[in-house]
Structure 1
Amino acid sequence: MLISRPEDLRLERVPLELSPALLERLRTTRYAVLSALRSGAPVYGVNTGMGAMSKVRLSEAEQGVHQRNLLLGRAVGGPPWLPPDEARAVVVARLWTFLTGDAGVSSELCLRLVDLLNSDVVPAIPLEGAGSAGEIIPLAHSFGPLVGIGSVLTPNGTVVAASSSSFELGPKEGIALLAGIPGATGRAWLLVSRARRLLELQRLAAAGGIAVIGANRDPYNPLCGRGDEVLTAELTRLLELAGPEDEPRSLQAPVSFRVAGHVFANLSRAVERLDEAVSRALAGVTDSPAFLDGEFVGTAGFHGIDLAAHCDQLVAALTHASEVSAARVHRLLDPAVTGLPAQLAREPGPQAGLVAVHKKAVALVHSLRRLSLPAAIGSVETSNGQEDVQSFSWEAASGLGEAIRLAREVLACEVLAVFQAFALSKRAVPPLLQEFLGSVAAVVPPIEGDRPFGADLETLVTRCLSIAAPGTRRT
């Protein structure tokens, strides 16, 4: 893919190439940056120390090694490491910000990042322990391998020391690699696509439950969404998927079924708001100091509260959706709701049915609730008080990734219950759900009696409920 502007970058695994025009723009900006530095005026992190040491001016000799040392002294993380697709997303987001010109880095450094993205090797980036204003610790691990520092993940998943490198960082390039929030941005960028896919799978499962219990369709009438386009769209989609019901089992289905449209509308809005926050992060000024209109400007673009807040909001929406999903699983085990054998067992009594599947869903929801504490709460001073607040956007992205994983496992519990309910029911599978439930039947054998249902749930997660973004590794 030929990249002529930052907007051309995508997360898909495709060969990248920077256009000649873009490289020339980078060279022009770099020349201006180097010219401005010759004045000798203090520029944070270039000819001064960092953080509480920013009042210390560096000699010419110190400046010569300072940019590499910035990466060397901050690589204090360790395993567990980011998955390769998330590590790649961090590098993509960093390259995007460099291509805007704000960082004023060389075209050679951008080409090194392109080479990294085109290779089968990704940096070993710690999942935990950012703990600063910005992301200096994980970013030191992300880009240290460019100059022979740290470790990398090989294609077979092993961790090896980064190869020695003759590449040298020029003035301002070390601090540029550590600046801003490319980690949270790239990871959230990736997670938005996963959350969208998860939402569609959740709709399919909920619609299956609505259909199999013969729920009254009134709550899904699009007219009920008046004044709310997102809700109207969700109600319309659920009604399409579940199909009509001329003889509902009761005047009102349990609340967990009736509110599905509202739950998914809330989740859909949370996904889109995070997507908008990612766009703002990619378009905004996050470098510090940034080279703007020919001058070095200290910024606060490292404070990723916008991303952190919207990651937190999406975690809360996923938690609520999973709570409602687990409630539907419970109701599917109830003969009073379904008219089916108790606990969806073929022989209730001798067989326990899917009661333990619901218990697992409850445990997963409990884990989700613990993730729902906003990540941005709980600032602690660091760097002798120079950094007296943090947004913890890196941790917010980690929490969102874990929430998506847990929500998918709750979804697997609901899908298994819907699958068994249809197997025990005389109701036909609605046309728009046949492909989905057919894919379940292709990997889950008929449930004739009790068995270790954990294996079925794992199979559903890995083989049927894929939420990998296009072009990324399935997880």
Structure 2
Amino acid sequence: MIRLDGQSLTAPLLARIAAGEGVVLDEGALALVAENRSVVDRIVAEGRTVYGINTGFGQFATVVIAPDQLQQLQLNLIRSHAAGVGEPLPKDQTRALMAARINCLLKGHSGIRPEPIRLLTDCLNRDVVPVVPSQGSVGASGDLAPLAHMALLLVGEGLAWGSDGQVPGGEALAKAGLKPVTLQAKEGLALINGTQLITSLGNLAVEKFTRLAALVDEIAGLSLEALRGTRAAFDPRIHAARPHPGQIAVAERMRGILGTSSEISESHKDCHRVQDAYSLRCIPQVHGVTRDALQFAGAILERELNSATDNPMIFTDTQESRSGGNFHGQYPAFACDVLAIAAADLASISERRQERLVNPAYSDLPAFLTQNGGLESGFMMAHVTSAALVSEMKGLAHPACVDTIPTSAGKEDHVSMGPIAARKLLRAVEALEQVLAIEARMALEGLRIIGLAPAAGLQPLVARLAEACAPWTDRVMYEELNATLGALRAHQEACP
């Protein structure tokens, strides 16, 4: 069980929850939640007019709600804001969304009682997962629509995932032995006002991207050996003169993977070539800036995962409610857009190495890596697939966070479009994995054609790929690429 305390949730932990692990709530954090709730109860008891507690929302903030209508106010909020459309989020992504919102509520600034948090936790642990449409949030006054669909489950409404598809939320709760809650003052707003869709999806993408960013160096090493490239470009003195951390780290890793020589490098040490193409020579520079981008954006997304993103925020020490803008998604949206750019660039340089592997004008290898050209097409279409993926990724790299459409009668006059940024980042990372699998399979075939041993640091990956993929003769290509993808994932598991 992964402990949630509002302070220490990380991308790897969130990925484990998304995959099915349960959570336990930190009792100290729950005590802070209860203490924070007492401020809301006092405001209601004293009859003070405070936004989000006993007023309407957005443009209706000046409308004061009678005490006997506060429960209806919160229920109306959830129902009216559950306006999402489009394909539902996959269950794993919705589990991540639930965990991220629980963690935010445990910060103790939302004014919610422990009871709704406990119910949301029970739903997560018993795999009672709401159906949450993927579209409908602009990522400014929180991810209101998707979180409202999540909150509908807690009041026994909406839809949940059952064993045979979608079922009514109340039915799913009852089957799991759970009872819906009656929302009290501010609790509907507390459940939906935050950036948790952007943040949860962004952190899931970071977890996968981080592993791919390590794998890409090994795959590039395979290509460098298959293309008979030189190790000279990884000389530490070159990179010390331009001391970007990512560049230095990748150059060091390439030296570690490739060593000083191999059978392949010895076979061409006196060749006529002076220097390699950029897709080989500039591996540290291009892969390196991606590492730096991951560190920058990953830090933003992890901080956001452990932030209070409500409005208004309740402060226990001064017994006050204060309106602000922590719900605005520009921070996580910006981070997701940066990473989509980084993913597209990694895929782009990989595709350029693939071109060199299949094009005999750039290598000493047979065209399309087949010895029976004409009768066989070899990896001709695999490269076309990679080109298609890279082109799509360039579109996904266009930033969402620079767009804004004012909403809520002009009250929300600048929005982040963060959910769009997060969703396209996930698509980009998935495409990157496919592009890298194509490069790895091509490089393996190039090494087989050469017939000499590559660097010792590459041999575990070569062995894993060779076990999954027999020497090439024309056969069903998508099956070959799926086998390569499986081998790469197994290699990542064995060599984290």
Assess if the C-alpha contact under 8 Å between 2:139 and 2:419 holds in 1. no
Q: Read off the aligned partner of 1:81 and give its amino acid letter.
A: P
Determine which of 223, 238, 244 is the counterpart of 1:228. 244
Change (3 A) 1:132 1:153: same
1:195 lines up with 2:195 in the alignment: no
1:5 lines up with 2:28 in the alignment: no
Q: Read off the aligned partner of 1:52 and give its amino acid letter.
A: Q
Determine which of 132, 135, 151 is the counterpart of 1:143. 151
Task: Within 5 Å, give how 1:271-282 maps onto structure 2.
Answer: 271-282=294-305
1:227-275 Cα distance to aligned partner (Å, 9 max, x none):
2232111001012213323434522122111111111111111111111
Q: Read off the aligned partner of 2:78 and give its amino acid letter.
A: L
Assess if the C-alpha contact under 8 Å between 2:403 and 2:417 holds in 1. no
Identity across the alignment (%): 28
In structure 1, the residue matched to 2:99 is 92
3-state SS, counterpart of residue 254 of structure 2: helix
Deviation at 1:32, TM superposition (A): 2.6
> Root-mean-square deviation (CA), in Å?
2.2
State the alpha-carbon separation in 1 of the partners of residues 307 and 256 from structure 2.
Answer: 40
Stretch of structure 1 that moved more, 21-30 or 293-302: 21-30
Assess if the C-alpha contact under 8 Å between 1:224 and 1:232 holds in 2. no
Deviation at 1:26, TM superposition (A): 2.2
3-state SS, counterpart of residue 314 of structure 2: strand
Q: Read off the aligned partner of 2:388 and give its amino acid letter.
A: A
Deviation at 1:441, TM superposition (A): 2.2
Q: Normalization by structure 2: what TM-score?
A: 0.89
Task: Within 5 Å, give how 1:96-245 maps onto structure 2.
Answer: 96-131=103-138, 133=140, 134-154=142-162, 156=163, 158-163=165-170, 165-226=179-240, 227-243=243-259, 244=261, 245=265
1:69 lines up with 2:76 in the alignment: yes
Assess if the C-alpha contact under 8 Å between 1:132 and 1:390 holds in 2. yes
3-state SS, counterpart of residue 6 of structure 1: coil
In structure 2, the residue matched to 1:54 is 61
1:369-394 Cα distance to aligned partner (Å, 9 max, x none):
11111101221122111112210111
Q: Read off the aligned partner of 1:99 and give its amino acid letter.
A: L
3-state SS, counterpart of residue 321 of structure 2: strand
Q: Normalization by structure 1: what TM-score?
A: 0.93
State the alpha-carbon separation in 1 of the partners of residues 197 and 139 from structure 2.
Answer: 13
Structure 1 stretches of 4+ with a deviation exceeding 4 A read 466-470
Deviation at 1:2, TM superposition (A): 7.0
- What runs of 5+ residues in structure 1 fail to find an aligned partner? 471-475
Assess if the C-alpha contact under 8 Å between 1:196 and 1:271 holds in 2. yes
In structure 2, the residue matched to 1:473 is none
In structure 1, the residue matched to 2:460 is 435
State the alpha-carbon separation in 1 of the partners of residues 350 and 166 from structure 2.
Answer: 38
Assess if the C-alpha contact under 8 Å between 1:289 and 1:298 holds in 2. yes
State the alpha-carbon separation in 2 of the partners of residues 210 and 2 from structure 1.
Answer: 42
In structure 2, the residue matched to 1:18 is 25
Tell me the number of residue pairs that the alignment of Structure 1 and Structure 2 aligns: 468
3-state SS, counterpart of residue 152 of structure 1: strand
Change (3 A) 1:170 1:191: same
- What runs of 5+ residues in structure 2 fail to find an aligned partner? 172-178
1:405 lines up with 2:412 in the alignment: no
Assess if the C-alpha contact under 8 Å between 1:198 and 1:467 holds in 2. no
Assess if the C-alpha contact under 8 Å between 1:193 and 1:469 holds in 2. no
Stretch of structure 1 that moved more, 278-287 or 407-416: 278-287
State the alpha-carbon separation in 2 of the partners of residues 414 and 192 from structure 1.
Answer: 22
